[in-house]
Amino acid sequence: MDLDSDLDPGLAALRPLGGFFVLRTAADPAGPPPGAVQALAEVYAAGARDVHRDALTERVATVGARLRAGEQRVAASIGHLGLAARLWSVALACASLYGRLPDLDPRLLRWDPAATAPDDLWLTGVRPRPGDAATLADGVLHGHLVPLGETLRARHGVAPGLLWGNAASALAGAARELDRWARGAGRGDVADRARALTDGLFAHPLLRTAGTRSGTAFRRRSCCLYYRVPGGGVCGDCCFTRPPRSSPRGVSG
């Protein structure tokens, strides 16, 4: 398998893949982005506390204002989907390109809650870890999406099935884009490794019932609620084929 030799301090191999895959690091001479001042571990640790203006509250408000979403749980779901997509994209691309994964411990990842999409992340140090599916699941699912989901459920009442549908949708989207790039770049080795890793991740108990897959196509069993945004509709992998006329608050698919 023709993998890149090792993780480099700037994770330069990610740059050709586009904004969702790029991860800025301490090797960036420009330093961290101005707004990326809070470690994600601090965001998750806030939990269900009634915090007037912490980073997660700011992110939900930012997403809601940009989408003109009147319901906080809709903005919370879309914000969750965006961050999940960034985390999966970085992790899957690193493991597929390098054969290794940088440690994505939430204490090492800083985040700008006011940034436009894609979420702006900055890694304070590149510490190599194995690039297997179990390590990816440990780093992304258990390190980030479990505590983030617990906080969003406690604060905004977002259904668990919806959040795991978001996680699965984000993973499938990252895998699809990585496969497209790899085949266009003549990197069949990267496409093969990404597919094997994605298969392993979708076998995880938290993801395996979230939807159905066929090749790089995915159909989730839940809805991210984007159809409730003014002018929004259903996403390509939604459980709905058309926007529901009405939906109870607890809808999760």
CA distance 120 to 110: 8
Find, among 148, 163, 159, the residue nearest to 44 by Cα: 148
| Mean pLDDT computed over 144-156 | 94
- Of 10-19, 25-34, 152-161, minimum mean pLDDT range: 25-34
Q: Are 94 and 237 in contact (CB under 8 A)?
A: no
Q: Are 146 and 115 in contact (CB under 8 A)?
A: no
Does 223 map to a domain?
no
Q: How confident is the model at residue 46 (pLDDT cuts 50, 70, 90)?
A: confident
Residue 249 has pLDDT above 50, yes or no: no
Instruction: Tell me what pLDDT residue 247 has.
Output: 47
Determine the structural domain holding residue 132 and report its residue range: 12-210
Does 75 map to a domain?
yes
Q: Give the CA radius of gyration of the chain.
A: 17
Average pLDDT, the chain: 90
Q: How confident is the model at residue 215 (pLDDT cuts 50, 70, 90)?
A: very high
pLDDT in tens, 104-126: 999 999 988 888 888 889 999 99
CA distance 115 to 196: 32
Does 252 map to a domain?
no
Find, among 65, 72, 55, 59, the residue nearest to 225 by Cα: 72
Q: How confident is the model at residue 133 (pLDDT cuts 50, 70, 90)?
A: very high
Side-chain-facing half-sphere of 81: CA atoms under 13 Å: 23
Does 231 map to a domain?
no
Any idea which residue has 């969750």 for tokens? 80
Does 229 map to a domain?
no
Q: How many domains does the chain have?
A: 1
Instruction: Tell me what pLDDT residue 28 has.
Output: 84
Residue 154 has pLDDT above 80, yes or no: yes
DSSP type of residue 123 = E
Does 217 map to a domain?
no
Find, among 34, 57, 54, the residue nearest to 42 by Cα: 54
% of the chain at pLDDT higher than 90: 75
Q: Are 238 and 221 in contact (CB under 8 A)?
A: no
Does 248 map to a domain?
no
Instruction: Tell me what pLDDT residue 32 has.
Output: 72
DSSP type of residue 119 = P
Does 127 map to a domain?
yes
Any idea which residue has 């409730």 for tokens? 228
| Mean pLDDT computed over 217-235 | 95
| Mean pLDDT computed over 128-153 | 96
Residue 31 has pLDDT above 80, yes or no: no
Burial class (CB in 10 A: 0-12, 13-18, 19+), 186: exposed
Instruction: Tell me what pLDDT residue 47 has.
Output: 65
